[in-house]
Amino acid sequence: MIRELSATAREHFEQPRNVGSLNPTDPDVAAALVGEPASGAILQLHLRVNERGLITAARFKAYGCGWTIACGSLLTECIQGRLLVETAQFRHHELVARLDAPPEKLHCAVLAETALKAALHAHAVKPTLNPTLQFEHP
């Protein structure tokens, strides 16, 4: 038997925070899309990071159960306003504890952590400078 959403999870499911996206082509935005379409859980995460390494905005979109949506919503609240170095230490256990997620929904919190790690990686490998055109002079 699958347990109903906890009060906190229900609040995040019914009124999710930070839903949407940021422009992934912006130089200060990192994007990640993780999940398994076959299992029905997909999470997209966008982070806007300033020059000091502070996450100034986090947006998510999710396809899946109420627990997946609640995990995406709470994740954005947990990481917005934090430095990348702090956020890199984030683990799904925080979502499980704060949402009181049952063991059979652990994968929803893991998916959120996976999205965060993928977005942090995308930020780390994103070019910081726009390439400039170089012309050969005769």
Reported as a single tens digit per residue, the pLDDT across 81-125 is 999 999 999 999 999 999 999 999 999 999 999 999 999 999 999
Give domain status of residue 64, yes or no.
yes
Give domain status of residue 73, yes or no.
yes
Nearest CA to 75 among 42, 104, 110?
110
- The number of CA neighbours under 13 Å toward the Cβ of 130 is 6
Rounded CA separation 32/118 (Å): 6
Q: Are 45 and 115 in contact (CB under 8 A)?
A: yes
Give domain status of residue 1, yes or no.
no
CATH number assigned to the domain comprising residue 74: 3.90.1010.10
CA 114 to chain centre: 8
Name residues whose C-beta falls within 8 Å of residue 102's C-beta, 6 or more positions apart in sequence. Answer: 2, 3
Give domain status of residue 133, yes or no.
no
pLDDT one-digit tens code per residue, 19-34: 999 999 999 999 999 9
Rounded CA separation 107/96 (Å): 10
Give domain status of residue 68, yes or no.
yes
Give domain status of residue 134, yes or no.
no
pLDDT one-digit tens code per residue, 3-58: 699 999 999 999 999 999 999 999 999 999 999 877 789 999 999 999 999 999 99
DSSP-derived letter for residue 112 is H
Task: Report residue 38 as tokens.
Answer: 């076959």
- The number of CA neighbours under 13 Å toward the Cβ of 42 is 9
Give domain status of residue 129, yes or no.
no
DSSP E strands: which ranges in the chain?
29-36, 41-49, 55-63
Give domain status of residue 91, yes or no.
yes
Q: State the total domains in the chain.
A: 1
How much is the pTM? Answer: 0.88
Task: Report residue 127 as tokens.
Answer: 């070019």
Q: Which domain holds residue 57?
A: 7-124
Query: Tokens 């609240």 map to which residue?
Result: 77
